[in-house]
Chain A
Amino acid sequence: MKLPTWFHKLASPPHFYRLAGAMAPWFLWSSVLLIAVGAYGGLVLAPPDYQQGDGFRIIYVHVPSAYLSTLVYAIMATAAGIGLIWRMKLAHAVAAAAAPVGAWFTFLALVTGAIWGKPMWGTYWEWDPRLTSELILLFLYLGYISLRQAYDDPGKADRASAVLALVGVVNLPIIHYSVIWWSSIHQGPTIKKLDAPSITMEMAWPLFTMIIAYTLFFAAMLLQRVRAEVLDRERNARWVAEVVQLPAEGR
């Protein structure tokens, strides 16, 4: 299987560096705008829940974080797989840049879940299938990051960590279906693909806004982090010298 030419052109570091630099601010500012809209809709406009009152509003942080924690892993593993199969350095750079962001989203999902769990369920933590598989996701991210740092040679770090990222993919369906396959304290999914969400529209639209905002925020972070990663990897290339020295000459 061959990859299309535009994909290879995209993978050329100087080209990607420029393109990502132009795109990142758009993603960042649209995400900031949508977070403001979503927060206002969720914290002010949405009515309190019939059971949880105002306490349910933490959903506007918890659900987007948890969603991103798995989405980022899927992106990271896909990039690592592409890097492994097609020997594409930029793909490895994307995987490496995504990992810390994904780890933070996972951490945020676990912490907001614990804060939500205490008043509603009566406990911060239970060794429940959903909670445990999400914790394993955090360990997968941390393992991936540490494994990369254990190698001095970036090529070896890329290949070894890519295998770990691929092995961890098995955890994603487990997280998603944990509340369906096993008895769990965590309720089932509110937003289903093929069904109307079990949440009224006034509460749902700020949630969807926040999910889109978090995704755009991740895109902005990823692009900037990959740019930094590319500069570091290509530090001996001539184009990097040109990019870095240009502002100095202008002074």
Chain B
Amino acid sequence: MKPRRQRMLAVIIILAGVGLAVGLALQAFQENLLFFYSPTQVLAGEQPDDRKFRLGGLVASGSLQRKPGELEVTFLVTDNSNAVPVSYTGVLPDLFREGQGVIAHGVLRSDGSFEAEEVLAKHDENYMPPEVAEMLAEQGHPSAAETVIAN
């Protein structure tokens, strides 16, 4: 084998070897790499019991309740098949609204409700001017509709 071929083979082996090793490692850590758990996963008890975790989903329409004169809010986080009630005391991000994706970091209480210490808003990959969003909402487009109604 010519030295050049040997070096080419070495480069291919490096790429394949590292790719395989990292692929297997990520496969093994798949569960620990979950950034957040869905309500369905939480109801099935898949979340860690001994530490705080993140709950992700949509804020269910019509579920947001504020205590008058206080910062405490409660709302339902849903993945459209199951929902978990969440309570939070603090300032919510600008994009927080009903129908919007959120990620709450906190603990699950024994009564099945989630006590959040931090609430983050998630936005989707769609960018459009408000008029287009309203038009889509009127036509009953599913993704834009909820957000505009919530506005």
Contact = CB atoms under 8 A, between A and B. Distances in A.
Interface of A: 1, 47-52, 56, 59, 81, 84-87, 119-123, 126, 128-129, 163, 166-167, 169-170, 174, 182-185, 187-190, 198-200, 202-203
Nearest to A47: B129
Given A81-B11, A121-B120, A129-B35, A170 B19 contact: yes
A203 B35 contact: no
B129 A167 contact: no
From B11, B35, B120, B129, residue with most partner A Cβ within 10 Å: B35
A86 B22 CA distance: 27
Interface in B102-132: 103, 118-132
B77 to A, nearest CB: 13
Contact of A185 (B7, B103, B129, B134): B103
19 contacts: A49-B128, A49-B129, A84-B11, A126-B35, A166-B14, A169-B15, A169-B18, A170-B19, A182-B33, A183-B36, A183-B56, A185-B35, A185-B103, A187-B124, A188-B125, A190-B126, A200-B128, A203-B127, A203-B129
Given A121-B122, A187-B122, A170 B22 contact: yes
Smallest CB-CB A-B distances: 8 pairs: A122-B93, A47-B129, A50-B133, A199-B127, A50-B130, A187-B125, A190-B125, A198-B126
Contacts of B95: 51-52, 120-121
A185 B125 contact: no
Contacts of A50: 128-130, 132-134, 144, 147-148
B4 interface: yes
B8 to A, nearest CB: 5
Nearest to A82: B11
Given A56-B127, A121-B95, A198-B126, A51 B14 contact: no
A52 B123 contact: yes
A51 B95 CA distance: 7
Given A120-B93, A185-B122, A203-B128, A128 B14 contact: no
B11 A122 contact: no
Q: Interface majority SS on B: helix, strand, loop or mixed?
A: mixed
Nearest to B130: A50
A99 to B, nearest CB: 18
A142 to B, nearest CB: 19
Contacts of A203: 127-129
A203 B127 CA distance: 8
Contacts of B4: 1, 85-87
Contacts of B36: 183, 185
Contact of B34 (A47, A56, A183): A183
Given A1-B8, A50-B133, A85-B11, A121 B127 contact: no
Interface residues of B, number: 44
B70 interface: no
Contacts of A47: 129-131
B94 interface: yes
B125 A85 contact: no
A49 B118 CA distance: 26
Contacts of A59: 127
Contacts of B19: 170
B34 A182 contact: yes
Contacts of A129: 33, 35
A92 to B, nearest CB: 13
Contacts of A85: 4, 7-8, 11
Given A85-B7, A182-B35, A122 B126 contact: no
